[in-house]
A and B are shown apart, each in its own frame.
Chain A
């Protein structure tokens, strides 16, 4: 668990994976499918693009809805997940498209939203 949570983790969408190979990132997306082994799942970002997330240990729970994943981008442009949380949507659905628009803003103005 340790190290990745002590450093800056830029928030990215699928389109940014290539620019972050080997680096810690934070990815938010909706669960599309989970591999039967539980060691791999696919998330869809606010633009509908898919990212594959891998786990070192299989999932020990059902996952669904919107997940926020912290991990490192692999050479294959997948994310090796170190931790994740599920966004609560019991009161209101999460607007993933709006989140994607917000990502564009924070990437455009790093002087006002520094990451690291």
Chain B
């Protein structure tokens, strides 16, 4: 199962260098990444006609090559080279060519407040920890969500926004009801609404759509009736 991070993931250079490439995608400890941010010092800057090549050092490994393409038609701020010795935040895409990793940057910003650096290193730990937890949960598969024992959601992301077991609380509740429905044609949306007094029909429909697209449930006699794909 793939867990793709849709966001921009803060990383260390060491993590990027260790990322495994499978076809067109990169994974850090099995979590797929594409857009990343790093923060480090510019050790070297080389200007070419179409691009600027920087070496950015965040102390976790050797400096990383960061390439920024320059718009040759416009004379603008993109053509200004950030001087070596400057701490910068780089946002870009990870690339690998002939086994050498590099970043193609779409944004390079000098840091004005070095406390952002402290925040960045904390965000790296948090992001990779949460991504790893999500991956582990998804691999274990959807589990029954009992209101009695929510268990430890961890301190990261808290509340209802962080999916547990790969599913949100609402999705888990809907799936659980569908799974436990003994009727051959499965559970209807109306029945779900009766059982889930706290959820609006819109929320229920959203959950059903998600579960269906992920393959946890399938429609039976019509689009209003669903059964679980898990044989129980």
B-side interface mostly: mixed
B1-25 CB contact bits vs A (8 Å, 1 = yes)? 0000000000010110010000000
CA distance A113 to B15 in the complex (A): 8
> Would you call B14 and A115 a contact (CB within 8 A)?
yes
Q: Give every chain B residue within 8 A of A32 (Cβ-Cβ).
A: none
Q: Is there a chain B Cβ closer than 8 Å to A41's Cβ?
A: no
CA distance A98 to B119 in the complex (A): 9
Distance from A1 Cβ to chain B, minimum over Cβ atoms (Å): 10
Q: Give every chain B residue within 8 A of A87 (Cβ-Cβ).
A: 87, 114
Give the nearest-CB partner of A66 in chain B: B114
Question: Out of A8, A94, A111, A112, which one reaches B59, CB within 8 Å?
Answer: A8
Q: Give every chain B residue within 8 A of A36 (Cβ-Cβ).
A: none
> Would you call B122 and A115 a contact (CB within 8 A)?
no
> Would you call A112 and B125 a contact (CB within 8 A)?
yes
- Determine, out of A15-23, A52-60, A72-80, A101-109, the stretch whose residues face the partner at the interface: A101-109
Q: Is there a chain B Cβ closer than 8 Å to A62's Cβ?
A: no
> Would you call A98 and B125 a contact (CB within 8 A)?
no
* Interface size class of chain B, counting residues whose CB lies under 8 Å from the partner chain: 20 to 34
> Would you call A9 and B59 a contact (CB within 8 A)?
yes
CA distance A114 to B223 in the complex (A): 49
Q: Is there a chain B Cβ closer than 8 Å to A33's Cβ?
A: no
> Would you call B85 and A85 a contact (CB within 8 A)?
yes
- Most central of B41, B113, B128 by chain A CB within 10 Å: B113
Q: Is there a chain A Cβ closer than 8 Å to B147's Cβ?
A: no
Distance from A91 Cβ to chain B, minimum over Cβ atoms (Å): 5
Distance from B174 Cβ to chain A, minimum over Cβ atoms (Å): 33
CA distance A6 to B212 in the complex (A): 50
CA distance A10 to B15 in the complex (A): 14
> Would you call A116 and B128 a contact (CB within 8 A)?
no
B62-86 CB contact bits vs A (8 Å, 1 = yes)? 1100000000000000000000010
Q: Is there a chain B Cβ closer than 8 Å to A81's Cβ?
A: no
CA distance A11 to B112 in the complex (A): 21
> Would you call A106 and B125 a contact (CB within 8 A)?
yes
With A9-B59, A116-B61 in contact, is A105–B125 under 8 Å at CB? Answer: yes
> Would you call B18 and A109 a contact (CB within 8 A)?
no
> Would you call B121 and A114 a contact (CB within 8 A)?
no
Residues of chain B from 29 to 50 with CB closer than 8 A to chain A in the complex: 29, 41, 43
Give the nearest-CB partner of B63 in chain A: A5
Q: Give me the interface of A with B, judged by CB distance under 8 Å.
A: 5-11, 26, 66, 70, 85, 87-89, 91-92, 94-95, 98-99, 102, 105-106, 109, 111-116
Q: Give me the interface of B with A, judged by CB distance under 8 Å.
A: 12, 14-15, 18, 29, 41, 43, 57, 59-63, 85, 87, 111-115, 118, 121-122, 124-125, 128-129, 132
